[in-house]
Structure 1
Amino acid sequence: MVDDNDFKEGFRQGFRAVRGSAAALPAIPAQPATRAGRTAFQMGLLRGIERGKGWDRNHIRDSD
């Protein structure tokens, strides 16, 4: 079961979804403010995907 308040776990899962489980995990960034309608886990997931793809910060989160 996923803890919706766990930003770090969201980041790990997002990064590994892009780079794979064998990739070295980078330092986990500080948790940003949680946007309305999202959980800390979802914010971590988005940030992890961004980092895994090498995109600029906020690429996904600001495209809504």
Structure 2
Amino acid sequence: MKTKEQIYDKVWSEEYIGGDNTIMVHIRRLRKKIEDNPSNPKYTLTIKGLGYKLTIGD
């Protein structure tokens, strides 16, 4: 699992100052590309209040 802060730091090399919108938009775009059903993701899971988890599934 990666926190929003960790994602922001690794992707943009900047300090996270809040506001999830940028990360949420990019996660949504990623889901559209890799998920069979982006509305019910199996690989890019949201951990509410913490961040996101990428799973390698069946």
Per the normalisation by structure 1, the TM-score is: 0.31
Structure with more of its chain in strand, by fraction: 2
Per the normalisation by structure 2, the TM-score is: 0.33
The structure with more radius of gyration: 2
